[in-house]
Chain A
């Protein structure tokens, strides 16, 4: 099955047809999508700023991680669900869109970086602390900020490549 055929097939499903007719579904789902991104991006930023050392520098990284890391992973389910609804509504506009494809690649990279932080911190709880490997932690944090910002940008650009 080619990408065109997949898009055509999704487009013909009853669900897709219904979403296309009900005009309120897409804006509502997009709003929920943005609110979930607000939680994920802000949580990632808090951890990243802590790793860089400009935020909550006197609190243990463990505490910042415990507070915000679950708020990166769990809302992803909401983002996945709302994302699938948006794809179902307009399959060709998303799946064949270079901005969407780039966004998915950036998302995979961001998740790898987040997982890497989790792994490195579990292996060495001094990771990111003044006593631990500073350069690696700061680099990881900056890459994470750039990736999450780029994901938001790519998401907005889907509308302009459609």
Chain B
């Protein structure tokens, strides 16, 4: 199959072989991955809790998103790069791991949720972004989905580590 061949090719690239064979490289990459994920989840939760109307109510929702989300994206980029490096080191096995597959699905879901909120949920942001104003139902829904999606991503990521031997 085409995908199988692509995975085997990926696994045989010099970078993938280096990650797979070097004893110290993998744990270092994994540590950076955990640090990045921790910051993705922590910073996105700050936004989600604001959208839910639970915390940071003294600051406008729009301002909070503008201030925090760049950090989320930065951390996500680091997580994606380190994740790809780990994936490449054993691509054929990761690709067949059910928990890893589920993790990718959840990441896509989290991304779609964010895009839908950005393009539709933020349309009437003027009506609910002010400090103290009650946030919209759409904003609360997006925040709830986001929190659940990221908690699931972390669970599946940890589960992948336990089922890759």
Which chain B residues lie closer than 8 Å to A86 at the CB level?
none
Interface residues of A in 59-90 (CB under 8 A from B): 59, 63, 67
| Contact (Cβ within 8 A) B58 A31 | no
B46 is an interface residue with CB less than 8 A from chain A: yes
With an 8 Å Cβ cutoff, the count of chain A residues facing the other chain is 28
> In the complex, what's the smallest C-beta–C-beta distance from B29 to chain A, in angstroms?
10
B67 is an interface residue with CB less than 8 A from chain A: yes
A96 is an interface residue with CB less than 8 A from chain B: no
Which chain A residues lie closer than 8 Å to B154 at the CB level?
31, 34-35, 38
- Given A27-B158, A55-B67, A67-B55, also A156-B42 (CB < 8 A): no
Other-chain residue from B34, B45, B56 in contact with A39 (beta carbon distance below 8 A): B45
> In the complex, what's the smallest C-beta–C-beta distance from B45 to chain A, in angstroms?
7
A-B contact count (CB 8 A): 68
B122 is an interface residue with CB less than 8 A from chain A: no
What are some 30 contacts across the A-B interface (CB < 8 A)?
A27-B155, A27-B158, A27-B161, A28-B155, A31-B154, A31-B155, A31-B158, A35-B151, A35-B154, A38-B37, A38-B39, A38-B41, A38-B42, A38-B45, A41-B35, A41-B39, A42-B38, A42-B39, A42-B45, A45-B71, A56-B67, A67-B56, A152-B38, A155-B34, A156-B27, A156-B30, A156-B31, A156-B34, A157-B27, A159-B27
